[in-house]
């Protein structure tokens, strides 16, 4: 479990073989599971429509121009 900048907590679930994040559960949103887009190796997977925490992204990350940009 990790605590975010604003105090909300998230429980992460990892692959027992490689350690990659498979999904996570945001506290207070029990009806949702979040799955990192990087968990998919499908080239036709749709591009993200929202980009958050851009001030923390790696320099090589290029969010889609038409995405909603938050932070």
Question: Which token pair is 5?
Answer: 């900048």
Q: What is the pLDDT of residues 16-68, one digit of tens each?
A: 999 888 999 989 888 888 888 777 788 888 888 888 888 888 999 888 889 99
d(CA 46, CA 25): 22
pTM comes to: 0.58
d(CA 55, CA 39): 22
């Amino acid at each position: 479990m990790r605590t975010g900048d604003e105090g909300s907590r998230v429980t992460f679930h990892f692959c027992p073989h490689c350690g990659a994040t498979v999904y996570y559960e945001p506290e207070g949103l029990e009806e949702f599971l979040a799955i990192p887009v990087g968990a998919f190796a499908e080239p036709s997977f749709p591009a993200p429509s929202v980009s958050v925490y851009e001030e923390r992204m790696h320099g090589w990350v290029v969010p889609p121009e038409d995405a909603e940009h938050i932070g």
